[in-house]
């Protein structure tokens, strides 16, 4: 039973030691290291029995002293271990401390300075009996302290360690009763000891080999669980914000429609300056609501789908009262935000650049599809070309929130890149490159002139 116990606790040390780089539970690592030195006391305890013939002339006192030393070290280690749960363990420092204390205690015992624990003919000494009770109290305190950190363990591992501590207490109580070192009470104590170490084996050795995820990666598992909960909470928050945003947009747009009707009715009674100011305020609000709708789309990662750029361009062209020429064909992977991207670029050209003609061309390259949107407007000054995609950047009196092209860039970055250059002879050209190996490419089609339409109300 003694040899089996030593084998088990040595295995506990080997598992804990070889797992030290990724074993985040400092309790298990500390217990594993302490057991290594406890096993040396137990080994000396075995070979010091007079029946072994290794230390001639020794009586039962020496092995009993080594036993008490081992149990003190074991119980105190159980008591200290919970205090290290939230700290990163310096295992080298722990090894040095245990080596020093182990060497010191062994030297004290073999030089005869350690109190007697057993006297032939009379049995256990008062020191030995009191020490067993003290050890039991220390073990009980360690179990209570461990209970405070039970959420840091797999439930089965925690139960096995607690049961092992309780059985160790029973073993120590049994060792307070015997008179003969070969008596029945001593035998019962060894059975309890063997069973307690078996539970430690089940908790650490068996679990580490058979269910390493629950023991060695428990912290990672808990973090993953926390991330899932946080992600779910964020999704719920986004859904709520989206609903609030939709309600506000709906109500504000209704109010703006009423204001527009009121302005029409008041045209004859209002001055031209007041009318112009009111119309600008309404148009600014509508622009802001549209940008908020696009900005809301940035909060969600939508699944990419196959989009026919030619058909999308034709659809968008119907929304603007300018001439839009469409040429080429390309099918790309994108999301619904692409509609807002193209619409925003055309709207900027019409409103800010005063363009009356837009050319949209698409061309399939070797590893990407290129979409070019050119206008004949006033163009973009060179000094601001590098800043037009920055968040909040505004230029000139017609600048609004400074979010339009920033949102465009953020949406395009999901599946490509966007840039701008001068158009010839005037205006600007926005270039969008879609990178996707699975896109369907077609040949260049004839230009399609799109007739001017009114902006839908």
Q: Rounded to whole angstroms, how far apart are CA atoms 47 and 45? A: 6
Q: Is 199 exposed, middle or buried (0-12, 13-18, 19+ CB in 10 A)?
A: buried
Q: How far apart are CA 340 and CA 155, in angstroms?
A: 52
Q: What is the pLDDT of residues 295-325, one digit of tens each?
A: 556 555 567 888 999 999 999 898 888 899 9
Percent of the chain topping pLDDT 90: 24
421: tokens are: 């250059």
Structure-token pair, residue 214:
């629950």
Calpha distance 293→401 (Å, rounded):
13
DSSP for 325-392, please give it.
EEEE-EEEEE-THHHHHHHHHHHHHHHTS--SEEEEEEEE-SS-EEEEEEE-SS---GGGTTTTTSTT
Please give the pLDDT value at position 206: 63
Strands (E), 19-127: 118-119, 123-124
Q: Which whole number is the average pLDDT over 350-354? A: 85
- pLDDT band for position 175 (50/70/90)? confident
Instruction: For the chain, give the mean pLDDT.
Output: 79
pLDDT band at 76 (very low <50, low <70, confident <90, very high): very high
CA distance 285 to 287: 5
User: pLDDT of 401-447, one tens digit each?
Assistant: 566 788 888 888 888 999 999 998 889 999 999 986 544 444 444 44
Residue 433's DSSP bridge partners are 370, 417
Please calculate the CA angle 86-92-96 and round it to the nearest 5 degrees.
115
> What pLDDT shows up at residue 443?
45
Half-sphere exposure of 165 (CA within 13 A, CB side): 25
Average pLDDT estimate for 99-103: 94
- Alpha carbons 313 and 318: distance in angstroms, whole number: 9
Which residues are CB-neighbours of 180 under 8 A, at least 6 positions away? Answer: 123, 186
Residue 203 belongs to what H/E stretch?
A: none
* pLDDT over threshold 50, residue 451: no
Distance of alpha carbon 171 from alpha carbon 189, whole angstroms: 4
pLDDT at 336 (0 to 100) = 78
Is residue 400's pLDDT more than 70? no
> In 10 A of CB 356, how many CB atoms?
14
Rounded mean pLDDT of 105-127?
87
Mean pLDDT of 94-114: 92
Give the residue from 246, 258, 254 showing the smallest Cα distance to 292. Answer: 246
Q: How confident is the model at residue 59 (pLDDT cuts 50, 70, 90)?
A: confident
**What is the rounded average pLDDT of the residues 341-349?**
88
Average pLDDT over residues 268-283: 67
Round the CA-based radius of gyration of the chain to a whole number and report it.
40
3-state SS assignment for residue 115: coil
Q: Give the mean pLDDT of 41-58.
A: 81
């Amino acid at each position: 039973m003694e040899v089996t116990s030593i084998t088990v606790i040595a295995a506990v040390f080997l598992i804990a030691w070889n797992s030290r780089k990724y074993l985040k539970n400092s309790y298990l690592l500390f217990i594993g290291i302490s057991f290594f030195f406890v096993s040396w006391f137990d080994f000396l305890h075995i070979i010091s029995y007079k029946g072994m013939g290794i230390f001639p002339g020794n009586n039962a006192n020496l092995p009993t002293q080594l036993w008490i030393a081992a149990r003190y070290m074991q119980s105190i280690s159980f008591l200290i271990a919970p205090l290290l749960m939230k700290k990163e363990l310096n295992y080298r420092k722990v090894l040095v401390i245990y080596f020093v204390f182990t060497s010191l205690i062994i030297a004290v015992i073999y030089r005869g300075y350690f109190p007697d624990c057993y006297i032939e003919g009379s049995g256990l000494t008062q020191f030995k009996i009191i020490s067993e009770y003290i050890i039991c109290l220390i073990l009980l305190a360690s179990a209570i302290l461990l209970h405070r950190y039970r959420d840091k363990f797999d439930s089965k591992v925690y139960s096995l360690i607690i049961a092992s501590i309780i059985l160790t207490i029973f073993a120590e109580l049994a060792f307070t009763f015997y008179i003969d070192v070969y008596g029945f009470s001593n035998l019962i104590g060894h059975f309890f000891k063997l069973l307690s170490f078996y539970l430690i084996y089940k908790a650490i050795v068996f679990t580490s080999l058979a269910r390493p995820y629950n023991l060695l990666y428990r912290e990672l598992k808990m973090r993953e669980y926390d991330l899932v909960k946080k992600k779910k909470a964020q999704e719920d928050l986004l859904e709520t914000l989206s609903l609030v945003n939709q309600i506000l947009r709906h109500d504000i747009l209704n109010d703006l429609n009423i204001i527009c009707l009121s302005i029409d009715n008041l045209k004859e009674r209002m001055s031209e300056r007041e009318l112009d100011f009111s119309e600008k305020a309404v148009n600014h609000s509508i622009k802001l609501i549209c940008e908020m709708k696009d900005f809301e789309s940035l909060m969600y990662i939508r699944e990419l789908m196959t989009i026919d750029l030619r058909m999308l361009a034709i659809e968008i062209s119907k929304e603007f009262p300018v001439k839009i020429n469409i040429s080429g064909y390309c099918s790309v992977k994108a999301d619904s935000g692409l509609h807002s991207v193209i619409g925003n670029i055309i709207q900027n050209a019409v409103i800010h650049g005063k363009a009356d003609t837009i050319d949209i061309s698409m061309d399939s390259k070797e590893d990407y599809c290129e979409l070019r949107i050119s206008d004949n407007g006033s163009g973009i000054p060179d000094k601001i070309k590098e800043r037009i995609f920055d968040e909040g950047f505004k230029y000139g009196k017609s600048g609004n929130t400074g979010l339009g092209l920033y949102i465009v860039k953020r949406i395009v970055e999901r599946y490509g890149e966007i840039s701008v250059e001068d158009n010839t002879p005037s205006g600007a050209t926005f270039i969008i490159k879609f990178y996707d190996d699975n896109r369907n490419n077609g040949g260049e089609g004839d230009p399609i002139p799109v007739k001017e339409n009114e902006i839908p109300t």
